[in-house]
Protein backbone atom coordinates (compact mmCIF):
# COMPACT_ATOMS: atom_id res chain seq x y z
CA UNK A 1 0.00 0.00 0.00
CA UNK A 2 1.11 3.56 -0.63
CA UNK A 3 2.25 5.91 2.08
CA UNK A 4 -0.40 8.04 3.76
CA UNK A 5 -1.44 11.24 1.98
CA UNK A 6 0.18 14.51 3.01
CA UNK A 7 -2.21 16.85 4.82
CA UNK A 8 -1.83 20.23 3.12
CA UNK A 9 -4.35 22.10 5.26
CA UNK A 10 -7.12 21.62 7.81
CA UNK A 11 -9.90 24.18 8.20
CA UNK A 12 -12.64 24.25 10.81
CA UNK A 13 -16.02 24.61 9.08
CA UNK A 14 -18.31 24.33 12.12
CA UNK A 15 -18.20 23.34 15.77
CA UNK A 16 -20.85 22.19 18.23
CA UNK A 17 -20.71 21.11 21.84
CA UNK A 18 -19.71 17.58 20.75
CA UNK A 19 -18.36 17.73 17.20
CA UNK A 20 -16.20 19.65 14.76
CA UNK A 21 -16.63 19.59 10.98
CA UNK A 22 -13.26 19.91 9.30
CA UNK A 23 -12.17 20.31 5.69
CA UNK A 24 -8.87 18.68 4.75
CA UNK A 25 -6.79 19.24 1.64
CA UNK A 26 -4.71 16.14 0.91
CA UNK A 27 -1.94 15.22 -1.54
CA UNK A 28 -1.65 11.52 -2.34
CA UNK A 29 1.65 9.79 -3.12
CA UNK A 30 0.82 9.86 -6.85
CA UNK A 31 0.52 13.69 -6.75
CA UNK A 32 -3.29 13.74 -6.88
CA UNK A 33 -4.85 16.38 -4.60
CA UNK A 34 -8.33 16.13 -3.10
CA UNK A 35 -10.50 17.91 -0.55
CA UNK A 36 -12.22 15.83 2.15
CA UNK A 37 -14.59 16.68 4.97
CA UNK A 38 -14.71 14.85 8.25
CA UNK A 39 -16.69 14.92 11.44
CA UNK A 40 -14.20 15.02 14.31
CA UNK A 41 -15.69 13.45 17.39
CA UNK A 42 -15.27 13.22 21.09
CA UNK A 43 -11.65 13.29 22.25
CA UNK A 44 -10.65 10.00 23.83
CA UNK A 45 -13.46 8.06 22.22
CA UNK A 46 -16.19 6.03 23.84
CA UNK A 47 -17.01 2.59 25.20
CA UNK A 48 -19.80 0.12 24.58
CA UNK A 49 -20.15 -2.70 27.10
CA UNK A 50 -21.75 -6.15 26.78
CA UNK A 51 -22.79 -7.10 30.33
CA UNK A 52 -23.39 -10.83 30.83
CA UNK A 53 -24.54 -12.50 34.05
CA UNK A 54 -26.06 -15.94 34.69
CA UNK A 55 -26.98 -16.51 31.04
CA UNK A 56 -28.51 -13.05 30.57
CA UNK A 57 -27.44 -10.04 28.56
CA UNK A 58 -28.23 -6.62 30.01
CA UNK A 59 -29.33 -4.04 27.46
CA UNK A 60 -30.80 -0.55 27.68
CA UNK A 61 -33.63 1.06 25.77
CA UNK A 62 -33.11 4.78 25.34
CA UNK A 63 -34.05 7.54 22.96
CA UNK A 64 -31.79 7.99 19.91
CA UNK A 65 -32.12 11.45 18.39
CA UNK A 66 -30.51 10.31 15.11
CA UNK A 67 -33.29 7.81 14.35
CA UNK A 68 -35.98 9.67 16.35
CA UNK A 69 -37.05 6.53 18.20
CA UNK A 70 -36.17 4.37 21.18
CA UNK A 71 -33.36 1.93 20.44
CA UNK A 72 -32.27 -1.19 22.27
CA UNK A 73 -28.52 -1.53 22.74
CA UNK A 74 -25.74 -2.05 25.21
CA UNK A 75 -24.60 0.49 27.82
CA UNK A 76 -22.24 3.04 26.33
CA UNK A 77 -20.66 6.40 27.00
CA UNK A 78 -17.84 8.82 26.47
CA UNK A 79 -14.40 8.26 27.99
CA UNK A 80 -13.69 11.10 30.41
CA UNK A 81 -10.17 12.61 30.60
CA UNK A 82 -7.91 10.42 32.73
CA UNK A 83 -10.16 7.34 32.50
CA UNK A 84 -9.23 4.06 30.86
CA UNK A 85 -11.83 2.30 28.69
CA UNK A 86 -12.27 -0.28 31.47
CA UNK A 87 -12.90 2.42 34.11
CA UNK A 88 -15.39 4.14 31.81
CA UNK A 89 -17.14 0.83 31.14
CA UNK A 90 -17.58 0.14 34.86
CA UNK A 91 -18.86 3.70 35.46
CA UNK A 92 -21.35 3.48 32.60
CA UNK A 93 -22.61 0.08 33.83
CA UNK A 94 -23.31 1.54 37.26
CA UNK A 95 -24.98 4.65 35.83
CA UNK A 96 -27.12 2.91 33.22
CA UNK A 97 -28.01 -0.53 34.64
CA UNK A 98 -27.10 -0.26 38.32
CA UNK A 99 -24.48 -3.02 38.20
CA UNK A 100 -20.68 -3.04 38.51
CA UNK A 101 -18.44 -5.64 36.92
CA UNK A 102 -15.84 -7.71 38.71
CA UNK A 103 -14.21 -8.49 35.37
CA UNK A 104 -14.06 -6.34 32.23
CA UNK A 105 -12.36 -7.69 29.12
CA UNK A 106 -11.57 -5.72 25.97
CA UNK A 107 -13.03 -7.17 22.78
CA UNK A 108 -11.63 -4.65 20.26
CA UNK A 109 -11.79 -1.02 19.19
CA UNK A 110 -14.03 -0.17 16.22
CA UNK A 111 -14.74 2.80 14.00
CA UNK A 112 -17.98 3.79 12.31
CA UNK A 113 -17.69 5.35 8.83
CA UNK A 114 -13.93 6.01 9.12
CA UNK A 115 -13.90 7.81 5.78
CA UNK A 116 -15.92 10.63 7.33
CA UNK A 117 -15.97 10.24 11.10
CA UNK A 118 -12.94 10.48 13.41
CA UNK A 119 -14.19 8.40 16.37
CA UNK A 120 -13.22 5.16 18.12
CA UNK A 121 -15.47 3.02 20.31
CA UNK A 122 -13.89 0.45 22.62
CA UNK A 123 -16.04 -2.70 22.86
CA UNK A 124 -15.80 -4.59 26.16
CA UNK A 125 -17.29 -7.66 27.82
CA UNK A 126 -18.37 -7.30 31.47
CA UNK A 127 -18.84 -10.25 33.82
CA UNK A 128 -19.13 -11.03 37.53
CA UNK A 129 -21.83 -8.37 37.94
CA UNK A 130 -23.00 -7.08 41.33
CA UNK A 131 -25.44 -4.38 42.41
CA UNK A 132 -23.85 -0.92 42.48
CA UNK A 133 -25.53 2.29 41.32
CA UNK A 134 -24.06 5.66 40.35
CA UNK A 135 -26.03 8.74 39.34
CA UNK A 136 -26.00 9.11 35.54
CA UNK A 137 -26.49 12.05 33.20
CA UNK A 138 -29.34 10.65 31.11
CA UNK A 139 -32.32 13.01 30.61
CA UNK A 140 -34.81 10.28 31.58
CA UNK A 141 -34.72 6.92 33.31
CA UNK A 142 -33.10 4.29 31.10
CA UNK A 143 -35.09 1.08 30.72
CA UNK A 144 -32.97 -1.99 31.49
CA UNK A 145 -33.83 -5.06 29.42
CA UNK A 146 -32.52 -8.50 30.33
CA UNK A 147 -32.22 -10.85 27.37
CA UNK A 148 -31.44 -14.60 27.54
CA UNK A 149 -28.22 -15.63 25.81
CA UNK A 150 -30.16 -18.65 24.53
CA UNK A 151 -32.35 -16.34 22.38
CA UNK A 152 -29.84 -14.40 20.29
CA UNK A 153 -31.97 -14.95 17.16
CA UNK A 154 -34.86 -13.21 18.90
CA UNK A 155 -32.66 -10.24 19.75
CA UNK A 156 -31.30 -10.03 16.21
CA UNK A 157 -34.85 -10.08 14.86
CA UNK A 158 -35.93 -6.99 16.81
CA UNK A 159 -36.55 -3.85 14.77
CA UNK A 160 -35.19 -1.66 17.56
CA UNK A 161 -31.82 -3.49 17.87
CA UNK A 162 -30.03 -1.89 14.91
CA UNK A 163 -26.94 -0.06 16.14
CA UNK A 164 -23.90 -1.42 14.30
CA UNK A 165 -21.65 -1.08 17.35
CA UNK A 166 -24.05 -3.15 19.48
CA UNK A 167 -24.31 -5.79 16.77
CA UNK A 168 -20.53 -6.02 16.41
CA UNK A 169 -20.05 -6.14 20.18
CA UNK A 170 -22.64 -8.90 20.51
CA UNK A 171 -20.89 -11.11 17.95
CA UNK A 172 -17.45 -10.49 19.44
CA UNK A 173 -18.75 -11.24 22.96
CA UNK A 174 -20.48 -14.42 21.79
CA UNK A 175 -17.27 -15.55 20.10
CA UNK A 176 -15.33 -15.01 23.33
CA UNK A 177 -18.01 -16.75 25.43
CA UNK A 178 -18.18 -19.74 23.07
CA UNK A 179 -14.47 -20.42 23.52
CA UNK A 180 -15.51 -22.41 26.56
CA UNK A 181 -14.84 -20.00 29.40
CA UNK A 182 -16.53 -21.62 32.43
CA UNK A 183 -17.22 -18.19 33.98
CA UNK A 184 -19.45 -17.04 31.10
Please report whether residue 146 resides in a domain.
Answer: yes
pLDDT in tens, the chain (184 residues): 579 999 999 999 999 887 889 999 999 999 999 999 998 876 778 999 999 999 999 999 999 998 999 999 999 999 999 999 999 999 999 999 999 999 999 999 999 888 888 889 999 999 999 999 999 888 888 899 999 999 999 999 999 999 999 999 999 999 999 986 544 4
Task: Count each helix (H run) and each strand (E run) in the chain, helices first.
Answer: 3, 11
Residue 119 sits in the same domain as residue 162: yes
- Give how far Cα 66 sits from Cα of 17, 50, 112, 165, Å: 16, 22, 14, 15
Nearest CA to 134 out of 84, 173, 77 is that of 77
- 171 backbone dihedrals φ, ψ, rounded to 5°: -65, -40
Range of the domain at 33: 6-40
CA dihedral 119, 72, 179, 92 (to 10 degrees): 60
Residue 79 sits in the same domain as residue 170: yes
Expressed in angstroms, the distance from the first to the final Cα of the chain is 40
Please report whether residue 122 resides in a domain.
Answer: yes
Q: What CATH number did the domain enclosing 171 receive?
A: 3.90.79.10
Please report whether residue 22 resides in a domain.
Answer: yes
- The pTM of the whole model exceeds 0.85: yes
Amino acid sequence: MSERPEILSVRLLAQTRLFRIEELDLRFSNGEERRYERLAGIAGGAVLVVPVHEGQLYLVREYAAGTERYELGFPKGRIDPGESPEETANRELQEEIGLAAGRIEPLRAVTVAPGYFEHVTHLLLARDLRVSRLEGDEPEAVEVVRWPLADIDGLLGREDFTEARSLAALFLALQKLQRGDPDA
